[in-house]
Amino acid sequence: MRTLDDTCDTFDIGGDLTVNRLGFGAMRITGPDILGEPTDVTEVHRLLDRALDLGVDFVDTADAYGPGTSERLLAAAGVPDDVVVATKGGLLRTPDGDWLRYGDPDYLRNAALCSLDRLGVDTIDLYQYHAPDADVPIEESMAALADLRDRGLVRHVGVSNVSVDQLERARDVVPIATVQNEYSVADRTHDDVLDVCEDRNIGFVPYFPLGGGDLGEKAAVLDEVATAHDATRRQVALAWLLERSPVVLPIPGTSSVDHLESNVAAAALSLTDDEMARLSA
């Protein structure tokens, strides 16, 4: 099986962190419902080792995954220094698993320090504000991340779950290296945000790049294109993202080595202009 180094284009996050454009989302290496420890930690290590073997050099996590579990597992797996690890802060988990937005600047500073400790690093490659808090102006939250960057605790800053207006307001405070929004061939809600990112060479990291498993009305055309390429529906969905824009960095997540290998194989899939048009219609 060819690796991403053979098949995948690269992108320079923040202008200086070169990664293969197909990354790995580490949300699902935790326990059920993204809470607690996984059933088999050894299998998680095998999954991460296989991802690195296949050329994955961009891994995305967050303090809310577990919470804290995903970051600790990445550190325990011994992810090499040349792999870009991105994490996020600004979401709290309740005991019943709800996600609560919390953008207090002091909280974000402390959250980043905790992530540094769990990841076992001196500097976080990419620290992202997980979701704007309606009760805190985004400028105040971003000022905390700018302070972390100025102190050398984070190398680059990103935002997640933002509109174009929120992105522009964040950029007024600190350089933004990436935007992470929900996006897939079946959910084009944030086309406008992606267009801004492409215009300004900001990495666009689509979460749920496979539509959370529901590709809806695109299923039929995905299946037609998949048949033509002897591929799977999900491989075509990932290939579409890679073709959509050179700034797109998909991060499909999985707890299965087989699914990981299938996802990575999508980087070798080349779609025709006609197929892209049909999928994009």
> Cα–Cα distance between 13 and 131 in angstroms, integer?
20
Residues 6+ apart with CB under 8 A from 268: 2, 6, 7
Residue with tokens 């700018």, as numbered in its chain: 146
Residue 127 is a catalytic residue? no
CB atoms within 10 A of CB 71: 26
* Single-letter code of the amino acid located at 202: I
Q: What are phi and psi of 251, to 5 degrees?
A: -130, 65
Instruction: Please tell me which residue in 65, 127, 129, 207 is annotated as part of the active site.
Output: 65
Q: For 173, what's the count of Cα atoms within 13 Å in the CB-facing half-sphere?
A: 20
Q: Which two tokens stand for residue 147?
A: 């302070």
Angle, nearest 10°, between helix axes 105-119 and 69-77?
30
Cβ–Cβ under 8 Å, residues 159 and 180? yes
CA–chain centroid gap for 157, Å, is: 13
Annotated catalytic residues are 65
